[in-house]
A = this chain, B = another copy of it.
């Protein structure tokens, strides 16, 4: 709904409550406002959130990659601000995305495991009690789109069109095969066809390219609208998440990489970067480049070949330790940039604590959307990236993983205090100023600082609820048990019944 229409409708609602004189007054005022709005073009920025999936910290040029080419991302980084302490709220996909989209720590609503794709389960998804920031923006006239991976529920009431998105092109599960010929209909969400809103659509090229092309087309189509409301696009790549699949001609570009898995992975990142180039080109072509705020980040760290999955050895999170699933920096610190030529001075590096939560808060602020429910937990980053505030947006950031298992972390600008049963870690304290890569666990000293951080974490956690979702493998086991038990019960009951005899 365009911005101006929204005002009209809101005002119309109020009419019933007023007397006739006030109505005339209101009409006059409204007409006046509409005239002003018609003259003053809506100058709120478009917002694009580009999310990579399981991307290693060191696997884009702007964080240091030398063996993978990401010229388009590097240009955005150079033209905007690089968040050197940019974090996600969870070290793996589903919960991280739930935090990003709601702008709230997902522990507030107990969503700390991946949603398992299941169209039959009315409780398996981002709780409907939560509001996405897309919904908030939609309410004030933004055209909202999600392109790519959803991973927040398969039942109709969890699907993007029910969660604040005008437009959806992509898939509902937590990943997807990259080549069209793998598409089929069975229990595997990775293999299902794509959807455009509620419609089933096939795709006929490499998935990352198909998503990028659709994103570019969305911008083109949006430019042809008679009214020009701003848009918010959540371009949610599954790249470079497994399965490792890429066009062979792109893999060939990485023949210099010895690890054949990393060759494919590099090609996946390369294709994503090319796709981002298509999106940027569309913005430029339609005069939207200057006033579009682009965020780019990964939903968590790249896979790290830990003992429980030694074969996952293709990503590079250096200089940070471990990766996906870890609360060490390798799992939660991500390549994270913002780009907005109209407002953000290029070439900045910002070292304050920035969270994926801030994307919602910033967007809601810029759109003039409603946050009067006071549930948003991110910070509006605008003053920080426009040089008006040099402090850290957050005093502290918090993590909690599988709460029942006692895995947690808290970091301030100065320190990080955490516990996780990782090789050589368990309970740890790091001086983040002198040791940002967490090489030296100094948990045996700094007890006072630890106590302060513990208090911060406990205060934060007192507002959380415990995790409700089952992990995917447990959930699938419960489901399989249910079907088997139901079948066996039916067989037993059938066997118990005395066969009928016609007398």
The listed residue (B186, B484, B503) touching A119 by CB distance below 8 A is B186
Pairwise interchain contact B202-A120, C-beta atoms closer than 8 A: no
Q: Which residues of B have CB within 8 Å of A24?
A: none
Interface contact A200-B198, CB-CB below 8 Å = no
User: Are A499 and B462 in contact, CB atoms less than 8 angstroms apart?
Assistant: yes
Chain A residues 302-335 with CB under 8 Å of chain B are none
**Which of A119, A185, A419, A462 has the most C-beta atoms of chain B within 10 angstroms of its own C-beta?**
A185
Question: Contacts A403-B497, A487-B123; is A195 near B187 (CB within 8 Å)?
Answer: no
Q: Which one of A54-62, A265-273, A465-473 contacts B?
A: A465-473
Q: Which residues of A457-495 are within 8 A (CB) of B? A: 457-458, 461-462, 464-470, 478-480, 482-484, 486-487, 490-491, 494-495
A457: chain B residues within 8 A (beta carbon): 502
A200 proximity list for chain B (CB < 8 A): 183-185, 192-193, 200, 202
State whether the Cβ of A156 lies closer than 8 Å to any Cβ in chain B: yes
Q: Do A156 and B186 have beta carbons less than 8 Å apart? A: yes
Q: Which among A119, A121, A181, A419 has the highest number of chain B CB atoms within 10 Å?
A: A121
A421 close to B (CB within 8 Å): no
Q: How far is the CA of A469 from the CA of B493 in the complex (A)?
A: 11
Cβ–Cβ contact A502 & B458, under 8 A: yes
Q: When A404-B497, A457-B502 are in contact, do A187 and B120 touch as well, CB less than 8 Å?
A: yes
List chain B residues, Cβ under 8 A from A183. Answer: 199-200
- Judging by beta carbons under 8 Å apart, are B487 and A454 in contact? no
Q: Is A376 an interface residue (CB 8 A)?
A: no
Chain B residue at minimum C-beta to C-beta distance from A470? B490
Identify the closest chain B residue to A404 (Cβ): B497
The A interface, classified by DSSP as helix, strand, loop or mixed, is: loop
Given contacts A200-B202, A202-B202, A458-B502, contact A187 B155 (CB under 8 A): yes
Within 8 A of B (CB), among A41-100: none
| Contact residues in B for A480 (Cβ distance below 8 Å) | 122
Contacts of A110 in B (CB 8 A): 494
For A483, give its contact among B123, B193, B469, B494 (CB under 8 Å): B123
The answer to whether the Cβ of A126 comes within 8 Å of any Cβ in the partner chain is no
Which residues on B sit within 8 Å (CB–CB) of A503? 454
- For A469, the closest partner residue in chain B by CB is B490
Nearest opposing residue in chain B for A456, CB measure: B502
**Residues in B whose Cβ lies below 8 Å from that of A119:** 185-187
**A501 interface hit (Cβ, 8 Å):** yes
A233 at the B interface (CB under 8 A): no
User: Which residues on B sit within 8 Å (CB–CB) of A453?
Assistant: 502
A74 to chain B, nearest CB (A): 37
User: How far is it, in angstroms, between the C-alpha of A404 and the C-alpha of B470 when the chains are bound?
Assistant: 38
Residue among A186, A195, A454, A484 with the most chain B CB within 10 A?
Answer: A186
Most chain B CB atoms below 10 A, which of A110, A123, A159, A467: A123
CB pair A483 B404 closer than 8 Å: no
- A408 on the B face (CB < 8 A): yes
Complexed CA–CA distance, A495 and B467 (Å): 9
Do B199 and A192 have beta carbons less than 8 Å apart? no
CB distance from A349 to the nearest CB of B (A): 32
Taken together as a complex, chains A and B put the C-alpha atoms of A65 and B457 apart, in Å, by 78
- CB-CB nearest in chain B for A184: B198
Whether A282 is near chain B, meaning CB under 8 Å from some CB there, is no
Give 1 or 0 for each of A374-395: 1 = CB within 8 Å of chain B CB. 0000000000000000000000
Does chain B have a CB within 8 A of A371? no
Q: Counting CB contacts under 8 A, is A172 at the interface? A: yes
Q: Name the residue on B nearest A193 (C-beta).
A: B200
Q: How far is the CA of A501 from the CA of B461 in the complex (A)?
A: 8
Contacting pair B502 A408 (CB below 8 A)? yes
Which chain B positions have C-beta within 8 A of A193? 185, 193, 200
Question: Can you list 14 A-B pairs, Cβ within 8 angstroms, ordered by A?
Answer: A120-B479, A120-B483, A123-B483, A123-B487, A156-B186, A159-B186, A184-B200, A185-B193, A185-B195, A200-B200, A403-B497, A458-B502, A466-B495, A466-B497
* Known contacts A121-B487, A454-B503, A458-B502, then 18 further A-B pairs from the complex at CB < 8 Å, ordered by chain A residue: A119-B186, A119-B187, A122-B484, A123-B483, A154-B186, A181-B199, A201-B202, A403-B499, A408-B500, A417-B502, A457-B502, A458-B501, A461-B499, A461-B501, A464-B499, A465-B495, A466-B495, A482-B486
- Interchain residue pairs A-B with the least CB separation, the first 8: A466-B494, A123-B487, A454-B502, A119-B187, A184-B198, A121-B483, A193-B200, A482-B482
